Amino acid sequence: MLGYTIKRLLQMIFVLWIVSVIVFLMMSFTGDPVFMVIPIDSTEAEIAQAREILGLNNSLIEQYAVFLKGILQGDFGRSYVYRQPALDLILERLPATFEIVLVAIVLAAVVAIPLGVYAGANPNRASSRAIMSASLLGISLPSFWVGMMLIFLLAVQWQMFPSSGRGDTVDLGWFRTSLLTADGWHHILLPALTLSLGTMAIILRMTRAGMMEVMRQDYIKFARAKGVSRRGMLYGHGLRNAMIPVVTIFGLQLGDLIAFATITETIFAWPGLGKLLIDSIYRADRPVIVVYLMLVAVLFVVINFLVDIIYTWIDPRITVK
């Protein structure tokens, strides 16, 4: 187990290094950052001086070395737009995105798993077919369009929910949360629902597929024969064994949620990472884009690692190599 963990850690570092190279190269070949820091009508001499200060006259390898050294020290440079350290900007927005993703995934799991178990255990009922059609529709919907329709109906027409922003937050010292205020919940429901629909549909389908597979096994019939209640059989014996693919999907979905949060946050003007990323792309605010990408890369690598560990915990038959 220890050997495995060390091997995985080395792999994770390798992946992050590759990502840093790719991010660096892409950023180097797109546009000239000089004009992000000095006015466009500067003199030749000023431009040359700025290039020198930014290190743009050095070779790519030297520039990369400086870039990597900065990253390792947590120094990603200053945002061209906000004129503050890019890392601080990102960390300040992190809680908002964390909360919306958390609420979305919990919402998805709470709705999708019971429905998936039901549809998998009773595949031929009309209600199961309806659930499956609805979930297919959920996969086929562009989430940003759903968000817009929710805004139009519930915020603009009927004014039941606010259309943008995060509402009141409570400062916990290191973390500003909106989940402790009624106003915060009022604001988070629509964006979280929008974000969760796709994930809800996918988890539902995975749970159902897993349950259908499991329900054919002998141990299910055996559990019934020995007098386990139907509910106990479905959730204790069935779902537990059907969960393995679902856990993988959970990990992948967490990544997708973070990615699609960019769109949801843009629609609902939610002050999180995703909106910051999109705004930074529009303004070519390179340091912020770089921090975002590196942070997200770290997150995904860690999520994948955790998923692998959780496997062995759910299914003792799987041993790590």
Partner 1 sequence: MAAGFLSSEFVHNYKRNASAIAGSLILVVFALIVVAGPLMVWQNPYDIAQLDLMDAFKPPMWLEGGEARFPFGTDGQGRDVLAGVLYGTRVSVLIGLSAMAMSCVIGTTLGLLAGFYGGRLDAVIMRIADIQLSFPSMLIALFLMSAFGTGIDKVLISLTAVGWVVYARTVRGSTLSEVQKEYIQAARVAGLRDGKIIRRHILPNVMTPLIVVATVQVGTFILIEASLSFLGVGVPITEPSLGLLIKNGFDVLFSGLWWTSVFPGIVIMALVFGINLFGDFLRDELNPRLK
Told to check if 140 binds partner 1 by CB under 8 A, we report yes
Please give the residues from 94 up to 133 whose contact with partner 1 meets the rule CB under 8 A: 133
Told to check if 17 binds partner 1 by CB under 8 A, we report no
**Binding segment for partner 1 among 52-60, 117-125, 225-233, 258-266 (CB under 8 A)?**
258-266
Structure tokens at 7: 């091997």
Told to check if 289 binds partner 1 by CB under 8 A, we report yes
Told to check if 139 binds partner 1 by CB under 8 A, we report yes
Told to check if 297 binds partner 1 by CB under 8 A, we report yes
Site pattern 189..228 for partner 1 (x: CB under 8 A)? ----------------------------------------
Label each residue of the chain as H, E or C: CHHHHHHHHHHHHHHHHHHHHHHHHHHHCCCCCHHHHCCCCCCHHHHHHHHHHHCCCCCHHHHHHHHHHHHHCCCCCECCCCCCEHHHHHHHHHHHHHHHHHHHHHHHHHHHHHHHHHHHHCCCCHHHHHHHHHHHHHHHCCHHHHHHHHHHHHHHHCCCCCCCCCCCCEECCCCEECCCCHHHHHHHHHHHHHHHHHHHHHHHHHHHHHHHHHHCCHHHHHHHHCCCCHHHHHHHHHHHHHHHHHHHHHHHHHHHHHHHHHHHHHHCCCCCHHHHHHHHHHCCCHHHHHHHHHHHHHHHHHHHHHHHHHHHHHCCCCCCC
Q: Smallest distance from the beta carbon of 266 to partner 1, in angstroms?
A: 7
Site residue total, partner 1 (CB under 8 A): 43
**Binding segment for partner 1 among 75-83, 113-121, 140-148, 220-228 (CB under 8 A)?**
140-148
For partner 1, the binding residue among 2, 3, 29, 40 (CB under 8 A) is: 29
**Binding segment for partner 1 among 49-57, 221-229, 242-250, 291-299 (CB under 8 A)?**
291-299
**Binding segment for partner 1 among 18-26, 64-72, 79-87, 93-101 (CB under 8 A)?**
18-26
Residues in touch with partner 1 (CB under 8 A): 15, 18-19, 26-27, 29-30, 133, 136-137, 139-145, 148-149, 151-152, 156, 163, 252, 255-256, 258-260, 262-263, 266-267, 278, 281-282, 289, 293, 296-297, 300-301, 304
